[in-house]
């Protein structure tokens, strides 16, 4: 009986280690892919919160010749509010 418990615990431990190792490799691979997309310009950084967002899915605002990319409508609105406050001060 004790041997069965030990074997069962060992099998559970091996399966756990395989699962954890697999998820770590997946996270590392996703981080590497994100890094490559940022370097290639496919992803841009939100100027309000700093989140990286896919250029094709980003919410944009044009400020003169500059196009700004946002992760959400909330961040876009925060930027617009700050910009309007700065204009009032000038």
44: nearest Cα among 27, 32, 58 = 58
pLDDT at 35: 78
Handedness of CA 57, 63, 66, 68 (dihedral sign): negative
Please write the tens of the pLDDT for every residue from 21-47.
Answer: 777 888 888 888 877 777 776 888 899
Does pTM top 0.75 for this prediction?
Answer: no
C-alpha pair distances (Å), 9 with each of 19, 22, 80? 15, 20, 58
Please write the tens of the pLDDT for every residue from 40-90.
Answer: 768 888 999 988 888 888 999 887 888 999 999 999 999 999 988 888 886
């Amino acid at each position: 009986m004790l041997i069965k418990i030990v074997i069962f615990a060992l099998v559970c431990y091996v399966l756990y280690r395989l699962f954890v190792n697999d998820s770590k490799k997946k996270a590392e691979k996703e981080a590497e892919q994100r890094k490559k997309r940022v370097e290639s310009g496919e992803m841009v950084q939100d100027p309000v919160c700093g989140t990286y967002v896919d250029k094709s899915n980003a919410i944009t605002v044009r400020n003169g010749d500059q196009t700004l990319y946002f992760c959400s409508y909330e961040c876009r609105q925060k930027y617009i509010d700050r910009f309007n406050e700065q204009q009032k001060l000038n």
